[in-house]
Structure 1
């Protein structure tokens, strides 16, 4: 269960969703029962009956930022910059007064240290260092650099969603959850994309409680595992925040014997990272670098809502740790057989 090849599966290309469901909560939902291994098929709106009346749903309220910037070198060559750790740039700005973070730079020829990149008509970025395939860039402009990035940047979509002429009209809203609030992610917490305000109100009316945490999803979530033994993989680091109110809500639920249902793998990682050995959680903020793979002992979560994940990805390893590798792969096989849509704009799973 530790070999990378153990997490490979064949997915027909047409199963990769390129657009979201016409209605967010109109997507399909596969339920995997962890005790029996049974798989059943539902619609996402069926959560109203599938969840327990006193469940606590933990959602990630991060908001995707326009992290993709087009520009040129001072020598004239066209470049594309993808900010991969926007939250680190914000932290640097707060502490040092300038926006500096790691980025992907695509160009016909890689820029050298000290090179200046011109992004739009008001932003420049100086190459401070190179870190493997990433570049550390220091962004500058005459005014507010964060607002300038928002004006000139584009919302990044995952590399497996293809657009011929840039973003489609709906992507700006479709690739945000309806409860997105705290800016800092460069990828969406996609399990949350299925929720609508109406569905959330219906769930609350049943007695289901929501609480919000923040984990700013970084581009590292798309970086492939490149080692044969997954235990040797270095997981990416992402900024998180658990408020006192959120910690109190989770701890109340645990002490009362209620289920804590994590919406998305980002919520799973944050909750498990913040939990102590007794299964209680503490408020705080910092950087989460928890890699969950089979053999991990879960301390807090009782169920999760998630999408279908890429072959050989750390997210597939996480759900395999929670439900068991063989049940997950049987469920994925059933989803492929039943024409479910996969990845960010695809359908969802309830694992409980």
Structure 2
């Protein structure tokens, strides 16, 4: 298991199955149900019928920031500015005003360059690092309000190949549970939940709770090593407060199923799990990389979208249900034209 090649997690996906917009309403997407070799093609709105009274759904309450900015290098000769347009993706907040950013095209940037994003927001290049550049932002007022006005939603590259982000994405790419600012990608499994579905979940006596994992640049970063054991994940900040850990532990102790909604919820749960199979209060960074051989201590099932080939997320799915089963599920999804990736359809996996 420890020396599995990345190529073992590859598969072919027709590009027409990459979803570029979500279904409306959200719960109208499809759901592939898997339970110990039983496969069913369902609607996501059918989810409560597949769950038990007392099951605990664990949602990630992170909120995506409009982290994609377009700006120009300020020039004394204003006619040159149109040739110096740049794209920045904010990836990590370093101080109150400084952010680590990815930049395209980075070759144009020099230290001390002044970047104009809008009349109210600008930045100065104060450092260049292996993982990008450090911008010190200059503004008056609330930074995140200015970002909401100036920035775009950081859609994944596989969507941006087909179209740019627009105003609709500021709603579509945010879950209805998003309360804690900090992600540059959405916990996409939760995008399928809307108020009507939540009413049905509550009516059946299915419990819910919330954890936080701020999704970082690692969600976009491809694995570049031949063997998956050599890959190192980027760190991401997460939190499970004491009250939530008690809710989860009560479910575990009483034999009720704990079902993470999305791989981000799963990763923060397993990051905080003890060897005895309980959850402890957690606040800090995790770079957990779940690969075949991993011992799951918390999750009984998983709700998740369909992921990229050779990605850390498909490797996680392969760890949860087994590589052979994962490939069987994805083959079924492709044959039956499920929609893939962030705005695509979902699966309920019960190994």
Q: TM-score, normalised on structure 2? A: 0.93
Decide whether aligned partners of structure 1 residues 188 and 252 sit closer, same or farther in structure 2, where only a CA change above 3 A counts. same
**What is aligned with 1:58?**
58
* SS in structure 2 of the partner of residue 291 of structure 1: coil
Q: TM-score, normalised on structure 1? A: 0.93
Distance of 1:265 and 1:108 partners within structure 2:
31
Deviation at 1:170, TM superposition (A): 2.5
Distance of 2:279 and 2:326 partners within structure 1:
27
Distance of 2:88 and 2:166 partners within structure 1:
20
Matches within 5 A, 1:38-117: 38-75=38-75, 76=81, 77-85=84-92, 88-89=93-94, 92-93=95-96, 99-107=97-105, 109-117=107-115
* SS in structure 1 of the partner of residue 158 of structure 2: coil
Per-residue CA distance 1:59-113 (angstroms, 9 max, x = gap): 001111111111111232111111012xx34xx22xxxxx222111113733123
> Which stretch has the larger CA shift, 239-248 or 329-338?
239-248
Distance of 2:12 and 2:46 partners within structure 1:
29
1:269 to 262, 267, 270: 267
Distance of 1:81 and 1:162 partners within structure 2:
14
RMSD of aligned Cα (Å): 1.6
* SS in structure 1 of the partner of residue 135 of structure 2: strand
Matches within 5 A, 1:300-319: 300-319=298-317
Deviation at 1:165, TM superposition (A): 6.9
Per-residue CA distance 1:229-257 (angstroms, 9 max, x = gap): 11111101111111122111100000101
Answer whether contact 1:70 1:120 (CA < 8 A) is retained.
no
Matches within 5 A, 1:293-332: 293-332=291-330
Matches within 5 A, 1:211-250: 211-250=209-248
* SS in structure 2 of the partner of residue 327 of structure 1: helix
> Which stretch has the larger CA shift, 69-78 or 259-268?
69-78
Answer whether contact 1:84 1:220 (CA < 8 A) is retained.
no
Per-residue CA distance 1:128-173 (angstroms, 9 max, x = gap): 3222241122212233333322321111211111377743443221
Decide whether aligned partners of structure 1 residues 278 and 219 sit closer, same or farther in structure 2, where only a CA change above 3 A counts. same
**What is aligned with 1:348?**
346
Answer whether contact 2:20 2:162 (CA < 8 A) is retained.
no
Unaligned stretches of 5+ residues in structure 1? 94-98
Decide whether aligned partners of structure 1 residues 19 and 245 sit closer, same or farther in structure 2, where only a CA change above 3 A counts. same
1:203 to 192, 201, 204: 201
> Which stretch has the larger CA shift, 342-351 or 170-179?
170-179
**What is aligned with 2:126?**
128
Matches within 5 A, 1:107-186: 107=105, 109-162=107-160, 166-186=164-184
